[in-house]
Amino acid sequence: MSQIKLKFPENFLWGAATSAYQVEGGNKNNWSEWEKANAKRLTSETKKKWQKWQQEKFPEMFEEKNYISGRACDHYNRYEEDFDIAKQLGHNAHRFSIEWSRIEPEEGKFDEKEIEHYRKVLKALRARKIEPFVTLWHWTNPLWLKNGELNKKFPKYFSRYVKFVIEKLGDLNNFWITLNEPTSVIFSSYIQGAWPPQKRNPFKALCVYKNLAAAHNLTYSEIHRIAPQAKVGFSNIMIYIEPTHKWHLLEKLIVKISDYFSNRKFLKMTNGNNDFLAIQYYFHKKISFFGMNAEKNKNVSDLDWDISPEGIYPLLKSLKKYNLPIYITENGLADKEDKLRSAFIKEHLKWIHRAIAEKVDVRGYFYWSLLDNFEWDKGFWPRFGLVEINYETLERKIRPSAWEYKKIIEANGIIDESKS
């Protein structure tokens, strides 16, 4: 029985990602205020939101403190220890985000101490020979910015903050991600109305598309003006959407429209202003005449999200026409017991490899996430980490899948047993 080794390109970047609000602890921004105002409500909605097996497996979802980010993983103080772990796990790249509300706590007043903190974070990565990818906005806004991303001055304010950051940190970092998943915010805050500012209004959703695209385009030029060598992109969540019945014209039409708004519109609005494409893949949806239904495989994550590794392949293929380097800047699952994570990573990598073999220029993969962390409106119970966090003691414990991932990294490839 022969085994086929799937080799990845030389200098492929392997790592994991985090975001400031989810791991740092001690943040004060629009989300931290929202969580305080909403923790009680979120606790009381638990019974109707989650299935019985989830409620039984995660009783902490019934506690109000689950919905308060508080000190999170205390990564703000423990980043050295966490990067030691990343290094130990073989990572040669790491994605994290800078918290705008720390850098500019009051409008126009920039905090030198906080920028110094992120200089140290970048230096800590460089000292370990880990290539940083820095996200400048991972959904959180400073409190002074009224209406956040809906504010028509958002592009102006955001680019002023970015200018300050690049002037101070531009010498230490090459890869900048301006915005994390614009469409997740547009959908969850302005279509579903679940996230702050909980405004359900399609017109506002369109305004946010416009503001965020303008913010990206403005900062793209600004970053290049200050740091010509920098590589700039935004991270795009891509959902693989297909019709349940291939012959159903209406389903096909709904697929086209959903695919446009989810996966393509923002890319079009920023076309020409991306040095690379950053793709984040979690979901596969099947459209049926009656609406969007997640197709359920037998394997689902703790969040009951469908696991469909094959969906990443057509998405990657569809990006080939842009002729830009592609990085998978997030892909992961909530799996407290770590039963599915190794296979999850490996299966996704197989499909990514197939795209690479067909000349799609994928250059890196970042698992979400390095650490268990605070999962937005769901709080602490979903466990995405390669590293488990004990939120009482803040002890870090490396999960077995992290060692499996390390083997892949060391081999710069995977063994595909299915082809044997």
Residues binding ligand BGC (CB under 6 A)? 19, 22, 180-181, 184, 237, 280, 330, 368, 375
**Contact in structure between 316 and 364 (CB atoms under 8 Å):** no
Distance CA 292, CA 382 (A): 23
> ∠ CA(181), CA(184), CA(187), 5° rounding?
145
Distance CA 348, CA 353 (A): 9
Looking at the Cβ atoms of 138 and 346, the one nearer to ligand BGC is 138
**Contact in structure between 118 and 24 (CB atoms under 8 Å):** no
Q: Please, what is the minimum distance in Å from the beta carbon of residue 228 to ligand BGC?
A: 28
Note the residue count of the chain. 420
Using DSSP's 3-state secondary structure scheme, residue 409 falls into helix
Looking at the Cβ atoms of 157 and 187, the one nearer to ligand BGC is 187
DSSP secondary structure string for all residues of 62-109: GSGGGG--TTTT-HHHHHHHHHHHHHHTT--EEEEE--HHHH-SBTTB
Determine which helix (DSSP H) or strand (DSSP E) holds 144, and give its type and residue range.
Answer: none
Beta-strand relationship, 362-368 and 13-17:
parallel
Looking at the Cβ atoms of 184 and 273, the one nearer to ligand BGC is 184
Q: Please, what is the minimum distance in Å from the beta carbon of residue 368 to ligand BGC?
A: 5
Looking at the Cβ atoms of 6 and 307, the one nearer to ligand BGC is 307
Looking at the Cβ atoms of 162 and 239, the one nearer to ligand BGC is 239
Looking at the Cβ atoms of 309 and 413, the one nearer to ligand BGC is 309
Looking at the Cβ atoms of 243 and 379, the one nearer to ligand BGC is 379
Determine which helix (DSSP H) or strand (DSSP E) holds 418, and give its type and residue range.
Answer: none
Q: Please, what is the minimum distance in Å from the beta carbon of residue 58 to ligand BGC?
A: 15
Q: Please, what is the minimum distance in Å from the beta carbon of residue 5 to ligand BGC?
A: 30
Exposure of 338 by Cβ count < 10 A (0-12 exposed, 13-18 middle, 19+ buried)? middle
**Contact in structure between 45 and 121 (CB atoms under 8 Å):** no
Q: What is the dihedral of CA 74, 80, 85, 89, to 10 degrees?
A: 130
Q: Please, what is the minimum distance in Å from the beta carbon of residue 341 to ligand BGC?
A: 14
Q: Please, what is the minimum distance in Å from the beta carbon of residue 127 to ligand BGC?
A: 26
Q: Please, what is the minimum distance in Å from the beta carbon of residue 301 to ligand BGC?
A: 10
Looking at the Cβ atoms of 46 and 180, the one nearer to ligand BGC is 180
Backbone angles phi, psi at 139, to 5 degrees: 80, -15
Q: Please, what is the minimum distance in Å from the beta carbon of residue 283 to ligand BGC?
A: 9
Looking at the Cβ atoms of 110 and 261, the one nearer to ligand BGC is 261
Q: Please, what is the minimum distance in Å from the beta carbon of residue 250 to ligand BGC?
A: 29
Looking at the Cβ atoms of 181 and 347, the one nearer to ligand BGC is 181
Distance CA 183, CA 172 (A): 29
Looking at the Cβ atoms of 332 and 413, the one nearer to ligand BGC is 332
Q: Please, what is the minimum distance in Å from the beta carbon of residue 184 to ligand BGC?
A: 5
Beta-strand relationship, 291-294 and 277-288:
antiparallel
The b-or-e profile of 230-258 (16+ CB within 10 A means b, else e) is bbbbbbbbbbbbbbeeeeeeebeebbeee
- The residues, ordered by sequence, that sit 6+ positions from 178 with a Cβ below 8 Å of its Cβ are 136, 137, 162, 215, 216, 219, 220, 223, 232, 233, 234
Q: Please, what is the minimum distance in Å from the beta carbon of residue 278 to ligand BGC?
A: 11
How many other C-beta atoms lie within 10 A of the C-beta of residue 221? 12
